[in-house]
Structure 1
Amino acid sequence: MEANVMEFLVEMTTQVPAGTTEAAVDDIRTREAARARELIADGNLLRLWRPPLVPGEWRTFGLFAAPDEAALQEALTSMPLHIWRTDKVTPLGPHVNNPAAHG
């Protein structure tokens, strides 16, 4: 990874508004997947994880890369699900015991 790029762990929690049709949900999920592929191609989205969920809960952990938090926010707000989502961003720093740093 380039020295001027930071990594961010983002917990994304989505709340679909009551009364939203299944067709609307399917449409936005399709657009979200397409946008995620674009962010991957651009090097902004590195990885996604799905934590254990309770019924009706949508949560995802994402590892993102961006030059700064403003660029990260631009990437996050470009995602269609952002209209229903709250994001908790944690900037990540290097760790001296990171196995990747020793390989």
Structure 2
Amino acid sequence: MPEHLHEYLVEITTDVPPDVPAEEVDRRRAAEAVRAHELAATGRLARLWRPLGEPRSIGIWRAANEADLRTAVLGTLPMWPWMTATVTPLEPHPNDPGADT
């Protein structure tokens, strides 16, 4: 992980307005995939899951602070204007079995 980045559990729900043309949604979804790969390559996106059949994602994201997370990371996602996010700051747990790996 890049230095001085904190981890956040982020739950994102996407709600595309009904008047947005399908072509625009498709364009943004394709750009979203590219941006997610870029953020993963820089260590900003660590893990990402989608609950079955739901228009939301749950992920582990990294940023200097929550403002950085919302502006420089999540705010760069092409679908961000249609997203709402619940952000939970995380800290290491002393009993984390993955801490030794």
User: Normalized against structure 1, the TM-score is what?
Assistant: 0.88
Name the CA distance, whole Å, in 2 between partners of 1:2 and 1:38: 14
1:69 corresponds to: 66
Separation in 2, partners of 1:34, 1:96: 35
Report SS of the residue matched to 2:98.
helix
* Aligned AA (1:60): S
Number of aligned residue pairs: give it: 100
Q: Name the structure where helix makes up a greater proportion of residues.
A: 1
5+ unaligned residues in a row in structure 1: which ranges? Answer: none
The answer for the alignment partner of 1:33 in structure 2 is 33
| Alpha-carbon distance between aligned partners in 1 of 2:52 and 2:93, rounded to the nearest angstrom | 27
Q: List alignment gaps of at least 5 residues for structure 2.
A: none
Runs ≥4 residues deviating over 4 A: none
What SS is found at the alignment partner of 1:80? coil
The alignment's TM-score, normalised by the length of structure 2, stands at: 0.90
Partners of 1:12 and 1:22 lie apart in 2 by 21
